[in-house]
Amino acid sequence: MFEFLFKYRPAVFEQGDFAFGARWPLVVILVLGAAIAAAALRGYGAAPGRSSPRDRLVLRGLRVAILVALVFFLLRPMLVVNAAVSQRNFVGVLVDDSRSMRVADHDGASRADIVRAMLDDRQGALLTSLRERFQVRLFRFGRGAERVDDLSRLTFDANETRLADALDGARRELESVPVSGLVLLTDGADNANVPLADMLLSLRARSVPVFAVGVGAERFDRDIEVRRVETSRSVLKGSTLVASVLVRQRGFGGAAVPLVVEDEGRVVGRSQVILPVGDEAGVVKVRVQLDQAGPRALTFRIPLQPGEQVTQNNGQGALVRVRDGREKILYVEGEPRYEMRFIRAAVEADSNLQLVALQRTAENKFLRLNVDGPAELVGGFPRSRAELFQYRAVILGSIEAGFFGKDQLAMLADFVGTRGGGLLFLGGRRAFAEGGYAGTALADVMPVVIEGTAATGDEPAFVSDLAATLTPGGLGAAVTQVVTERDTIGRQGKGAPTVAEKWGSLPAVTSVNRIRRVKPGAVTLIAGRQARPLRQGLPAEAAGYEQPLLVYQRYGRGLAVALPVQDSWTWRMGAGIEVEDATFERFWRQMLRWITSEVPGRVTIATTADQANPRSPVTLRAEVVDSAFTRLNDAQVVAHVVNAAGDRRDVPLDWTVDRDGEYQGTFTPDGAGIHSIRVEAVSKSGGSASDSAYVRVAERDDEFVDAEMRASVLKRIADETGGRFYTPARARSLAADVALSRRGVTVVNEMDLWDMPINFLLLVLLLGAEWGCRKYRGLA
């Protein structure tokens, strides 16, 4: 309709420059028009009949509008358009050859079928129209752009889509010839995790417009998609792993579906989840018990539901390294009390935990338990970084800040922030503010705000009996998972209690540390609420007193946890606890695993991803420090990579220069399966350290994640480069639009506007309106 009324397509008006082409002088035309208008106005001024002054004003306005339109047409308005010279310019056509193009979301036809139809040899097809005007170069792309001679090379089996690399590769290929633009046929499913901004800036600077054709549905009707799995990449053997699974649905909002966790085909976890309602993705939690050491290739999947449009996006994998090491933890206690005794008993049988105890029995006298040798802790608490940093975590019991020197307090803060260790603060009469920690280096590390001065005397100034309640954050935390599928305690055939029910049934514990606030960014996992009236002889407290029982925060590279409770052993010895109840033991084993789970060693290896497609480069980054955790820039670092077949190769890692202690290298996997990576670092002093990691190499289904056609991405590419965005149904004009891009070898065309049909209709409308008014008022 627009082209019928205005003679040309909208793209012509967008690309053209407005001008007048009249041969008569402009002054002559304006003077002639003014004279005719003056005569008309005088004629209406003396008009007879029933006309009023307002009628005569309207008639004058209509007559002037008619004369202005005629003068405008006499000036011969036109568009000056730079059009590409036929067959003198090149156009690159980039076809998405990835697996997502196999999705059949258009009346049973796949996206690949639609692309083939647009590129066949029939008259009016996109490729035919382009070849009538340009020299066409055909590319297919997945990981990068590859020149092809014909459509038979399209296989639609690439397992990655990198739009930035593809566009940049095609531009480089056509750099030596005049280019009118690039045509991009894709669903926009870019999964390179690389910002497009730099590539778009480069195309804009080189005046290369991109004309994007979005293939596929912008929204599926019915589909369930497991988009991402977030979980720890390394855990200790026997730990409970809690994974956060990001799920999005279309047409299944509120449905209850099973979420199954498999380890190489063996089901190791299952949870019934309610799918989120609405367009936004939701997070669901699932827990897995990992009792087998080594790399575990876990798959999180939702079984295929009836009517789903995409069948390949219902699962995601995660590679988890299950360590069978022995984590060394230092527990410092300022006085003999039941808490240490029961905690030690809870973890004593755990072969993966070594709890070293340092208990003060008298002034400058200590009891050392579970040490490795007679020299360990012989002088009391460590006085050097190397001595302290050998531990993976530290637990501070009821021991006052004055026990430590200023340097030792600063060293403990560095143990968390620099070394990346875990630090657990327990409650007690000499802990937190009551222990004089306010204003010390550890006050910044604590996840809670401590206020007030140190307590005096042996009797606490505050006591509260608190019942535990899980917070929403605590429901999905690994440390609180004290219920197993085999638990049937007290359920009378109803099955195991939920985690929240179990915590709610535990007896109240005692806190002698008044904690009013947690720090911004800290997370409360277990909240405590006053369980019974406060004890006599102590300051009155408002009814319903609450304080956190378990709270944590990240501090630097490490983890700081507060458990302001002096008798968690009540969860083992309370009157209502049955003999076979293992809640206390599970809690403390999970606690010690948690605070040591992500503690780095002297060498820490990380990969760009724990799963990779075959033939996709994998980048290795290693961080190397000495025994005091000072970063080393002069180490010799080598990665020993062993594939699934047992073949080994050595990959040297070089210092990155821009970051102290960081080394980097790259290798390309040469086969499917799990590749083990062991990095060894040797310092100039001769000291050595190592770390291990794993990468699973297999064909991934990333192409089917977020597989709806991403119109917003393609519109951005087109807009920022000076091109246009199309759907297949509107791509007929694409070739003509490319010809108007003003790029390459062009010729100037003058396109008249005075003879547009809309002009004739305007004159008829104005003349009809004038005649109608005159007829109505008796002037005709």
pLDDT at 700 > cutoff 50: yes
pLDDT at 115: 93
Chain segment 311-325, per-residue pLDDT in tens: 899 999 999 999 998
416 with 554, same domain? yes
DSSP string, 517-551: EE-TT-EEEEEEEE-SPPPTTS----TT-EEEEEE
Widest Cα–Cα separation across the chain: 126
Q: Is residue 409 located within the same domain as residue 518?
A: yes
**580 found inside a domain:** yes
Q: In sequence order, what DSSP letters do the residues of 2-25 get, joined into one string?
A: HHHHHSS-HHHHHH-EEEE--SS-
**What's the residue count for the chain?**
780
What share of the chain has pLDDT > 70, as a percent?
93
Give the β-pairing of 239-250 and 223-230: antiparallel
Both 174 and 231 in one domain: the answer is: no
Please report, for the domain that includes residue 736, its CATH number: 3.40.50.410
Q: Give SS3 for 508.
A: coil
CATH number for the domain spanning 274: value is 2.60.40.150
Least confident stretch, 165-169, 213-217, 544-548: 544-548
* pLDDT tens column, 434-450: 999 999 999 999 999 99
Residues 123 and 193 in one domain: yes
Q: What is the residue range of 182's domain?
A: 86-217+708-744
**Confidence (pLDDT) at 78:** 81
Q: Which of 597, 614, 637 is the last residue of a domain?
A: 597
Confidence class of residue 470 from pLDDT cuts 50, 70 and 90? Answer: very high
Beta strands in 494-625 (DSSP E): 509-511, 517-518, 523-530, 546-555, 558-563, 603-607, 611-612, 618-624
On whether both 584 and 619 belong to a single domain, the answer is no
Alpha-carbon distance 510 to 465, whole Å? 5
Taking a C-beta distance cutoff of 8 angstroms, is the pair 551, 426 a contact? no
Q: Are 500 and 566 in contact (CB under 8 A)?
A: no
- Per residue in 357-404, pLDDT (tens digit) is 999 998 889 999 999 999 999 999 999 999 999 999 999 999 999 999
Instruction: Work out the average pLDDT over 697-720.
Output: 91
* pTM given for the model: 0.78
In a domain, residue 434? The reply is yes
Return the CATH number at 451: 3.40.50.880
Residue 413 has what pLDDT?
A: 97
145 within domain boundaries? yes
Residue 208 lies in a domain: yes
Give 398-442 pLDDT, tens digit per residue. 999 999 999 999 999 999 999 999 999 999 999 999 999 999 999
Lowest mean pLDDT among 48-52, 64-68, 84-88, 125-129: 48-52
Domain boundary at 320, 335, 351, which? 320
Residue 389 has phi, psi (to 5 degrees) of -75, 0
- Single-letter amino acid, residue 458: D
Instruction: Indicate if 661 and 679 belong to the same structural domain.
Output: yes
How does strand 327-333 pair with strand 393-396? Answer: parallel
Would the pLDDT of 544 be above 80? Answer: no
Q: How far is CA 671 from the centre of its chain?
A: 29
Q: What whole-number distance in Å separates Cα of residue 454 and Cα of residue 379?
A: 26
Same domain? For 559 and 664 the reply is no
Q: Does residue 16 fall inside a structural domain? A: yes
Is 297 in contact with 269 (CB distance < 8 Å)?
no
Helix (H, G, I), strand (E, B) or coil at 151: helix
**Per-residue model confidence as pLDDT tens digits over 561-591:** 999 999 999 999 988 889 889 999 999 999 9
Buried b (16+ CB within 10 A) or exposed e, 537-570: eeeeeeeebebbbbbbbebbbbbbbbbbbbbbbb
Report whether 18 contacts 79 (CB < 8 A): yes
Mean pLDDT over each residue of the chain, to the nearest integer = 88
pLDDT tens digit sequence for 667-688: 999 888 999 999 999 998 888 9
Model confidence band, residue 773 (pLDDT cutoffs 50, 70, 90): confident
Lowest mean pLDDT among 338-347, 444-453, 534-543, 697-706: 534-543
> Which band of pLDDT confidence, cut at 50, 70 and 90, is reported for residue 518?
very high
574 in the same domain as 444: yes
The pLDDT, as a whole number, for residue 42 is 65
Q: Please, are residues 503 and 525 in contact by the beta-carbon 8 Å criterion?
A: no
Strand order in the sheet with 17-20: 17-20, 77-84, 746-752
pLDDT number for residue 488? 41
Q: State how many domains the chain has.
A: 5
Query: Quick check: is 576 in a domain?
Result: yes
Task: Between 592 and 530, name the one with better pLDDT.
Answer: 592
Q: Write down the residue that tokens 């008569």 correspond to.
A: 24
Whether 723 and 681 share a structural domain:
no
Asked if 720 contacts 208 with a C-beta cutoff of 8 angstroms, the reply is: no
Q: Which two tokens stand for residue 337?
A: 């009390």
Residue ending a domain, among 597, 618, 635, is 597
Contact assessment for residue 40 and residue 768, using Cβ atoms and an 8 Å cutoff: no
In a domain, residue 487? The reply is: no
Asked if pLDDT for residue 537 goes beyond 50, the answer is no
Token look-up 């028009």 returns 33
142-177 exposure pattern, b = at least 16 Cβ within 10 A, e = fewer: bbbbbebeeeeebebebbbbbbbbbbbbbbebbeee
Paired sense of beta strands 315-323 and 294-301, if any? antiparallel
661 and 624 in contact (C-beta within 8 Å)? yes
- 100 and 240 part of one domain: no
For residue 485, name the pLDDT band (cuts at 50, 70, 90): low
Are 307 and 232 in the same domain? yes
If asked whether residues 626 and 570 sit together in one domain, one would say no
pLDDT value of position 40: 64
Amino acid (one-letter) located at 28: V
* Strand intervals (E) in 378-483: 393-396, 422-426, 448-449, 464-470
Percentage of the chain modeled with pLDDT above 90 = 57
Supply the pLDDT for residue 186: 95
Question: Does 506 map to a domain?
Answer: no
